[in-house]
Amino acid sequence: MNASAMVWNGAALGLDPAVAAAGATAALVTLVVLAIALVRTARARAVEANARMLLAQEVEERLGELARLQAEMAGRVQTMGEMLAGRQAELVTAVGERLDAVTNRLGQSLETTTRHTVEGLRHLHERLAVIDSAQRNLTELTSQVTSLREVLANKQARGAFGQARMEAIVRDGLPPGSYKFQPTLSNGMRPDCAVFLPDGRPLIIDAKFPLEAVTALREAKSDEDRRRAGQRLRQDVGKHVSDIASKYLIPGETQDMALMFVPSESVYAELYDGFDDVVQKAHRARVVLVSPSLLMLAIQVVQQIQKDARMREAASRIQVEVGHLAEDLARLRERVVKLERHFSQANEDIRQILISADKIEKRAARIDDLDFGEEHAAPASGVVASAPVAHKLPAQD
């Protein structure tokens, strides 16, 4: 509806033209406002549609990107799955190999441990057997020590024990004839042993060491008992040293010193550690205390001295034999010279014989070359003549 129509209508209706014009104007304004509103609404709707379209495009793009990412994720998940499956297979294989190796090593280790355990048990049984044997030996030794203590309690038995040990050392170290047990000296005394030295004077060895004082010293409980036992030991050993010096040291007949045999290394060490005055007194009396090891050493020295003496005694005979050897060598040289002359003569004879043999060979050849008519005529008659035999003539120069 336009304004003219409205004016016409107003005129037709008999309205005032001013009123109609105002109404038309109002209507026109209303229409303009409605048009503006419609335009704005259309624009808003277009903007909204455009926004919705943009949003839809963005959503579509987002959905496409999401789909692409989802596809990529699916591919990566599949790849990771395949990789995990391969790694899992490799892991299973590696774990299986490791388990096999560990099982093998464990088996070898168990076998080695079992073998070592068996060997250790075997060695342990052997050690136990050795310990049992040692225990039996200790038991026997205990009984023997008890018997030895009973033997040493008797003075005569103790002297026999020292004598036997000294004799064993001397027999083991010296040849027979270089010593004598219980010899008789010019004063009627009979020492335990006499070892003969190269100068003819024997070295006297006494084996009757007084052990009562040593036993009392070891069994002493208090300081007073030890003091009394020490005094007794000094008296007994001093008296025995004096007896050896007075009985067995004979000037011109025996050596200037004698040996007093102590049958125990511990007793000897105890004397040297705690009773140096006794040892010095014995040295001044020209009596030397010797333990079993020192007596063995002294016997070895004596053996070497005797060997050197025998070598000195044999030196003159060796010189005589060397002289005879030189004479035999001179005679041998003369005989070799004669033999050389005989060889020279034999070589000359052989040369002459070879010359004679050459001459004989030449003469035989000349004889073989001789022409005999009868022998040459025989083949014509059909008879083969035998060749002449060349007889060797005696050799002529």
The verdict on 300 and 217 lying in the same domain is yes
Same domain, 109 and 184: no
Nearest to 27 by CA among 2, 52, 47: 2
Q: For residue range 339-365, what is the model confidence (pLDDT) as tens digits? A: 888 888 888 888 888 888 888 888 888
pLDDT at 159: 57
Q: How far apart are CA 318 and CA 80, in angstroms?
A: 108
Residue 352's closest CA among 321, 389, 397?
Answer: 397
- The answer to which of 80-84, 146-150, 214-218, 311-315 has the lowest mean pLDDT is 146-150
Question: How is the chain split among helix, strand and coil, in percent rounded to 5?
Answer: 75, 5, 20
Domain that holds residue 217: 158-317
Q: What angle do CA 183, 188, 193 make, to 5 degrees?
A: 25
Residues 102 and 179 in one domain: no
Q: Is the pLDDT of residue 390 over 70?
A: no
- Domains identified in the chain, total number: 2
Residues 209 and 302 both lie in one domain:
yes
In the chain, the percentage of residues whose pLDDT exceeds 90 is: 0
Alpha carbon dihedral 146, 148, 152, 153, in 10-degree steps, equals: 20
Which of 283, 317, 351 is where one domain is finished?
317
Q: Is residue 237 part of a domain?
A: yes
Does the pLDDT of residue 33 top 70, yes or no? yes
CA distance linking residue 46 with residue 59, whole number of Å = 19
205 in any annotated domain: yes
- Asked if residues 222 and 252 have their Cβ atoms less than 8 Å apart, the reply is no
More confident residue, 140 or 147: 140
Q: Residue 263 in contact with residue 250, Cβ under 8 Å? A: no
Q: Can you give the pLDDT at residue 7?
A: 45
So what's the pLDDT on residue 16? 67
Identify whether the C-beta of residue 291 lies closer than 8 Å to the C-beta of residue 183. Answer: no
Query: If you search the block for the tokens 């005569």, which residue do you land on?
Result: 156
| Statement to judge: residues 194 and 107 lie in one domain | no
Task: State the pLDDT at residue 325.
Answer: 82
Give the per-residue pLDDT at 142: 66
pLDDT at 381 over 50: no
Residue 133, both tokens: 């044997």
Report the distance separating Cα 189 and Cα 184, nearest Å.
6
User: pLDDT for 37-47, tens place per residue?
Assistant: 888 888 877 88
Residue 293: give its domain's CATH number: 3.40.1350
Residue 240 has pLDDT above 80, yes or no: yes
Residue 303: name the closest of 181, 177, 164, 192 by CA: 177
How many residues make up the chain in this entry? Answer: 397
- Residue finishing a domain among 288, 317, 346: 317
Q: Which residues contact 265 (CB under 8 A, 6 or more apart)?
A: 291, 292, 293
pLDDT grade, residue 155 (50/70/90)? low
Verify that 178 and 298 share a domain, yes or no: yes
Same domain, 106 and 173: no
Q: Which residue has the higher pLDDT, 274 or 151?
A: 274
Is 124 domain-assigned?
no
What value does the mean pLDDT of the chain take? 78
Per-residue pLDDT band for 156 (boundaries 50, 70, 90) equals low
> In DSSP terms, which residues pair with 204 in a beta bridge?
194, 258
Does the residue 142 lie in any domain? no
Give the residue with greater pLDDT, 353 vs 274.
353
Strand 193-196 and strand 287-290: the pairing is unpaired
State whether residue 189 is helix, strand or coil. coil
Q: Considering 268, 290, 317, which residue would you say is the last residue of a domain?
A: 317
Exposure b/e, 230-260, CB count within 10 A at least 16 = b: bebbeebbeebbeebbebbbbeeebbeebbb
Q: Which residues of 189-226 are buried (b: 16+ CB within 10 A; e: fewer)?
A: eebbbbbbbeeebbbbbbbbbbbebbbbbeeeeeeeeb
DSSP conformational letter for 379? G
Statement: residue 252 has pLDDT above 50? yes
206 domain residue, yes or no:
yes
Mean pLDDT of 188-197: 88
Same domain, 83 and 170: no
Mean pLDDT calculated for residue range 250-276: 85
pLDDT at 380 over 50: no
Q: Is the pLDDT of residue 387 over 70?
A: no
Whether 168 and 101 map to the same domain: the answer is no
Least confident of 206-210, 250-254, 256-260: 206-210
Indicate if the pLDDT at residue 382 is higher than 60: no
Q: What is the pLDDT of residue 40?
A: 81
pLDDT at 12: 46
Are 97 and 39 members of one domain?
Answer: yes
* Same domain for 287 and 209: yes
Same domain flag for 69 and 200: no
Look at residue 372 in the predicted model and tell me its pLDDT. Answer: 52
Q: How far apart are CA 202 and CA 257, in angstroms?
A: 10
